[in-house]
Amino acid sequence: MGLKREANLTDADAVYAAIIDAHADLSEAESLALNARLLLLLANHIGDAGVVLQALAAARQSMAKSI
């Protein structure tokens, strides 16, 4: 199974809002720690190292485009 790149969330706006809300009142360090914990939880849930590595590469590549 490869990385799904097309929209796949039933309510992406609500998920985005929940992610933003989870960061409310956190320091920058706490926010970074939350992101790291979320990333590790989701990587574990995915359970396929190849897919996680594809996602990391895609995220990193998108950062280069935004700079």
State the pTM of this model: 0.83
What percent of the chain stands above pLDDT 70?
97
Residue 47 resides in a domain: yes
Residue 4 resides in a domain: no
Instruction: Count how many domains the chain has.
Output: 1
CB 52 within 8 A of CB 3: no
HEC string for 32-61: HHHHHHHHHHHHHHHCCHHHHHHHHHHHHH
The boundaries of the domain holding residue 22 are 12-66
What is the pLDDT at residue 65? 75
Residue 55 resides in a domain: yes
What is the pLDDT at residue 67? 62
What is the pLDDT at residue 22? 98
Residue 48 resides in a domain: yes
Token readout for 7 is 């929209």
Instruction: Kindly give the parts of the chain with pLDDT less than 70.
Output: 66-67
